[in-house]
Structures are given as structure tokens and as C-alpha cells.
A and B are shown apart, each in its own frame.
Chain A
């Protein structure tokens, strides 16, 4: 593991990241079912007026995730 791992809510817009870990939370199963599994690629696309939630693109699907949930997901950004 490299040390440039950040939580998903910190992933800059339009950047892609590889999911490293999904923290345990009541929503974990739901995230897994949407395809947010370790190793999957996720891209931050845009945010609303409150910067929360943000919309992410994963497996050809656009998903809105609130900051609190996104902060429990760790990603490794890549270009």
C-alpha cells in the first residue's frame, strides 16, 4: 500500500481512484451490492450546492453518496 490513500470524499472531482477498503457501517452491504468492492474503479464527477452529497461514477452507473458514507471508503487515486 502506498501512502497516497485518501478517503473517497477527498477524491478530487473528475479524478479516478481504486477502492482499497470499505469501512464497516450499516450501509456497507448496500455499497457492496452497488459494486463498490475492493479493487473497483470509482470516479468523482460532481457535487451539489452543499458539496454533499457528491455524485460518483462506478461500473457505468452514477451514484450519489453523502460525505459521511464516502469518508468510510478508502481509495488510491490514479490518473
Chain B
């Protein structure tokens, strides 16, 4: 729009000289990927750029624009993956991002990715974009899925009607990518011939009046843009006008323009069109035109193709079975995680601890001082070995299963099932989605809260996210739960561990709801805002993609973070345990200092110290507890859970202690990474402090109550 280099530099020279400029034409083309949520933009982006932008089958997955580039023949292309939007009207922050980018950054080509199975809805955005720029390529994505549903899209005809290039794609299966690249490579800017919306004689005349007035003042403005700006002025879309005018140095308040605007408004009124309802009228008209085009280009052989999803949904989201099936599914995943992780954990543990003597020997041979060998091997290496052997296997099982559900399209159904609870807490149902992400990592869950539109509800979701136990807290919950409770009831069984962890997650969800309601009534007063959510069709996840993505993006990422924290923490603990002040080590002094507070909450000083030292990452809480109990101040290798149990019991643990530790692990302060993320997301110290203190106070109080009640009961009945 206006005088950007790309629109006048090369093209103004004319078609004939194109070959000479071929190189510069392709030297750096900016492409924006736009489209409705969940149509596979990110997938296309990844296929093109080879980057690992996270994809998932739920709307709002891409909350930030991602940048990447690719080359084809002699062309170089810069890609921007915009967040999915249904329109450019900026109903939410991410829609605003997308709208502003197309509107203001003016990419050379805007690629609109559309879902072949629901083109009609997707065309709303396409037309809104066509009203701003005609340099659009339409990608009809998911054609494979459409084919299965017996929908055929006549791409050629679409291209003829819209007068823009149209490419059929199946980005997930890498079909049509080459054709897409070729289309982009051969793309010539259009000269006003692309299809634009048509709102009928009266409205078009009115738009014309305003557009002409704008062109008269600002000769360089593109005709389409002038019309678009005229529409926004008549619609009274102040936000859009302001953004556009600021960027392009246009003043629509000039008297010569305003005069014409008044004239246009009068004409509208005379024709019986209410200006306050103009926007609705325009959108309705866009849909009417979409329907018309789709009726010509789309053939649906199977009218009720939704039936397959309906059959699944009748169980997974039904009135009766929705919530029970959800809990069963959760337990199933946890059971697979616990069972599957047992054996590999043992093997990894044996291997890693097997190296210990070799490292010890090697370091001694290298003439390292005795104390440093001890620090490295008994402090750092043992903690690392413990973290890796305990954390890696469950994550390597849990994350792929979770990603599977995510790709399948189940997560929005969780939000649907649970929305009633969230309504009662005056919050948004989408909070359930962010809590699901919190199961993997709370920091990720906090970032995910961007999908919630209302700032009040978003804050609540951010503050309460750490009530859902993240993956790093699973090992502690599983180990302690199995040791102290499974034995009492069914003996050591992974089924019980799964039920136990599932129960704790449900407990965490209940606390979340309770605290959300509390916040809605106190610090963040308000009623729940409106809630409309698209539920994507079930899609068959691609096994290869799931494994690669969940192992590399999630498992290794989380493990790496844990390792980075565990190594120095191991050293710190060793030093604290081995440096004496007077006759007593620093560790014991600290623990003794914390002991009265710990006792109050059913724990002891060592445990509390472990939680404090575990602030950088929750994963290291358990190893620190174990290390602290060792008189020597370093972890012993323990080959089975019974030995660990014995160690804990020797240090005064009862089932009350275990229960309090589990509750406190579930509800204490969020880890350092999460706190930093909260600060970044809320941009406010106040809310960050509240997110830290609120769980701490609640968790501590819960532990005090639980230990008091249990100990009283024991003293009465015991």
C-alpha cells in the first residue's frame, strides 16, 4: 500500500524488464501466513522452513507470530506465521496482531490458508484480506481430510472466480508443497483484477464517495486501501482507522474528507441502512458471497459427514460420560506412564550409578584434590544421575501421550466438559486448556493463558496455573505416594500410583476452581465474560511427528532445564553438608532453624529446606531431601524403593508426613522459571508476588490443618 519499495521499485518498471530483475525480485520476498485458527498454518510453516513451530489441534495454538525463511530456486523468502484469526476485526490480542501485520507491515504476498472442509467460514477472512490487498495466494489446506469426508474442492474454478492463485495442499502429508513454492516463485503482483467484495449498488456507491475523497488528498494510496479505509470510517471502527492512519501518515479528519463522510452517511440513512448495523450487514454480505462461491466450487457428497465425530463426541463430551471418561483417560495416561517408566528407570539408574566408580577413579588419577572429587561425584554427579533416571522415562512416555491427545483434538473437549465449573468460578472455560498445558510445564501453561481474551480471566488463569502439578512434580508424588500409601492398601502397584496421582490432579483442579472463585470475588472482581470456542474435528495424529516433537521439543527441553539446575544444586547441597560452622554443618543449622516451621506443617526442617532450594526447579526437591538425610551429606544410591522408605522412616516420616509433603508439593510457590514467566506475561510485580504468596499460604495452611487433624485422630484412636 502506498509507496513501499516492492510495489514501485521493480514492478513500476514494467513486465518487460522483469528478467533483468529476476534476481532482485526473488531476493527477499516477505510472505505472511494468515488463516482461521487450526487450519494448519503452523504445519505449513514448519514444512516450508524446517523450523519446529509447535503445532496442535486446537484453536489458538500459535499465540506469537513466528518468523522463518526458505529458499526455492534463486528465490529467498521470509515467512511470518501469524496467529489464527477468524477476522481482522481484532476481537482478541492475537487477532489484533494478525490484522495489524497485514494492514500495516504490508507483506509482499499474503498467503491465506483455508480449511478445505469448511471453506465457507474461512472465506470471511479471505475476503477481509482481499479488501486490503490483492496480493493474495489462497491455499486450500487439508484436502486429504476433505477427501475422506467426501468433499471435493474445484481449485481451478475457485482461482477463476477469485482471480488469484489457488493451491490445493495437504501440508501435514507434504502434498502440494512444491506447487505452492512454484506458485510463489512465479507470482506476479496483480493490477487490480483480483476479486473484491461487492456489497450492492448503494453501499458500494457510499464507499466510493469516501474512497475518492481520500484518494484526492492522498494520491499515492492504493485504491483497495482507500475503499477499505472508507469502510472502516463509515463503520466507525476507530481502532483500525487510528492504527492505519498513524502508520501511513493519513489524516482522515481533514475537512474535505469529513465533508464527504457526512454526505455518505446521509446517503446511507436515506437508503434505510442503519450505520450502527453496517458492520453486521457487511459481514452478512461477505458470508452470502462465500456461500455463493462455495456452492459453485465445493461438492459435498456426504451431507452428514460430521457423523463420525459425533459418534466419538457422544461419549467423550456427553452429559453423562463426558467427565467420567475424561478422568478415566487421565488415569490411563498416568498408569501407562508409571508402569512404563519403572523398568527403564531402573536400567538407566544402574548404568549411571555404575559409572560412578570409574569417574571417581579417573578424577583421583588426574590428581584432583580429594574434596573436589567428592564434590563432583557425590554432589553433582549423583544428583544428575538421579534426575535423569527418575525423570527421563516418565516424560518420554507422558509427553507423547499428551501430544497425541492434543493432536487428536481432545483438549478443547476438556474445556467443554469442565466449563460449567469455570462458569461457577466466574472464569473462562479455556482456562482448562491452559491447565492441561500446565501438566506438562507450568511456565508453558502461563504463556498459554494468552488464548483467554478477558484480561481479568487471563490473570486468574495465570495466577492459579501452578495448582496443576507439572511433570517435574510427578516423580515426587508417585514415589512418596507409592511408598507410604500403596503398601498400606494394595501393595506396590502402578495402578494405585496412577489413581493416586490422578486424585491429586483432581484435587489441584478443585483448588484452582476454589481460588479462581475467591479471586473473582476479591482481587479480580467480575462476572465471567462471554465464551465461544471452536471445537476442531478429530484428526488422526501422525505417529512420527508426535514422537519427534514430544521427545525433542518437550522431553529434552524440560530435562535439559532440570539438569542445568540440578548440577549446581547438587554442589550447593554437598557444600552445605560438608562445611561446618562450629561443630555443625550449614545444612544442619539451616534445617534446625526451619524445623519448628516445618513441624507445624507436618514436615521437618530438611523437607522445607529442600522445597526452598528446589525453587529453581521442582524436580530436585526429592533428591535434596534424600541427600540431606544422609549423614555424610550426599545421596546414596538406593537400589529399591524399600531402602528409600526405610531411610525416610528412620528420619521420622509417617504417613502424615508423606501426605503433607505431597500436598505441599502440589500447592507451594511456583518454580523460578514459572515466576519469571508470570512476571513477563503480567508485566506487574504485584500479580507476580500474589502468584507466589497465594499458593504458599494456601499450601502451608492446608498442611497445618491436615497434620493437626491427623495427629489428633491418631492420638485419640491410635
A window 5-31: CB within 8 A of B: 22, 25-31
Q: Is the CB of B533 within 8 A of A49?
A: no
Neighbouring A residues of B310 by C-beta, 8 Å: 45-46
Q: Is A78 at the interface (CB under 8 A from chain B)?
A: no
Known contacts A29-B279, A33-B124, A45-B310, A53 near B319 by CB under 8 Å: no
Q: Is the CB of A53 within 8 A of B531?
A: yes
Nearest-neighbour CB distance to chain A for B425, whole angstroms, equals 13
Q: How far, in whole Å, are A32 and B88 apart by their CA atoms in the complex?
A: 12
Neighbouring B residues of A46 by C-beta, 8 Å: 310, 313-314, 317-319
User: Quick one: CB contact mask for A35-67 with B, threshold 8 Å, 1 for yes?
Assistant: 101111000011111111101010111111110
Size bracket of the A interface: 35 or more
Neighbouring B residues of A64 by C-beta, 8 Å: 412, 415-416, 419, 429, 531-535
Known contacts A33-B86, A53-B531, A59 near B120 by CB under 8 Å: yes
Q: Is the CB of A62 within 8 A of B309?
A: yes
User: Quick one: CB contact mask for B264-292 with A, threshold 8 Å, 1 for yes?
Assistant: 00000000000000011001100110000
Neighbouring B residues of A66 by C-beta, 8 Å: 419, 423, 429, 530-532
Known contacts A55-B313, A69-B532, A30 near B91 by CB under 8 Å: yes
Q: How far, in whole Å, are A33 and B36 apart by their CA atoms in the complex?
A: 10
Q: Is the CB of B530 within 8 A of A60?
A: no
Nearest-neighbour CB distance to chain B for A12, whole angstroms, equals 14
Q: How far, in whole Å, are A68 and B280 apart by their CA atoms in the complex?
A: 20
Known contacts A37-B287, A60-B118, A50 near B89 by CB under 8 Å: no
Q: Is the CB of B420 within 8 A of A49?
A: yes
A55 in complex: contacting residue of B124, B283, B416, CB < 8 Å: B416
Q: Is the CB of A63 within 8 A of B534?
A: yes
- Closest B residue to A14 using CB positions: B310
Q: How far, in whole Å, are A42 and B235 apart by their CA atoms in the complex?
A: 27
Q: Is the CB of A48 within 8 A of B419?
A: yes
- Closest A residue to B412 using CB positions: A64
Q: How far, in whole Å, are A61 and B305 apart by their CA atoms in the complex?
A: 12
- Closest A residue to B90 using CB positions: A29
Neighbouring B residues of A50 by C-beta, 8 Å: 419-420, 423
Q: Is the CB of A49 within 8 A of B417?
A: yes
Neighbouring B residues of A63 by C-beta, 8 Å: 532-535
Q: How far, in whole Å, are A48 and B413 apart by their CA atoms in the complex?
A: 10
Nearest-neighbour CB distance to chain B for A18, whole angstroms, equals 13
Q: Is the CB of B420 within 8 A of A52?
A: yes
Nearest-neighbour CB distance to chain B for A15, whole angstroms, equals 15
Q: Is B618 at the interface (CB under 8 A from chain A)?
A: no
Known contacts A30-B91, A55-B317, A49 near B322 by CB under 8 Å: yes
- Closest B residue to A70 using CB positions: B532
Q: How far, in whole Å, are A25 and B530 apart by their CA atoms in the complex?
A: 9
Q: Is B121 at the interface (CB under 8 A from chain A)?
A: yes
Q: How far, in whole Å, are A66 and B415 apart by their CA atoms in the complex?
A: 12
Interface residues of B (CB under 8 A from A): 86-87, 89, 91, 117-118, 120-121, 124, 279-280, 283-284, 287-288, 306, 309-310, 313-314, 317-320, 322-323, 412, 415-417, 419-420, 423, 429, 529-537
The 8 closest A-B pairs by CB, nearest first: A50-B420, A27-B530, A60-B118, A33-B87, A33-B86, A37-B284, A62-B535, A32-B283
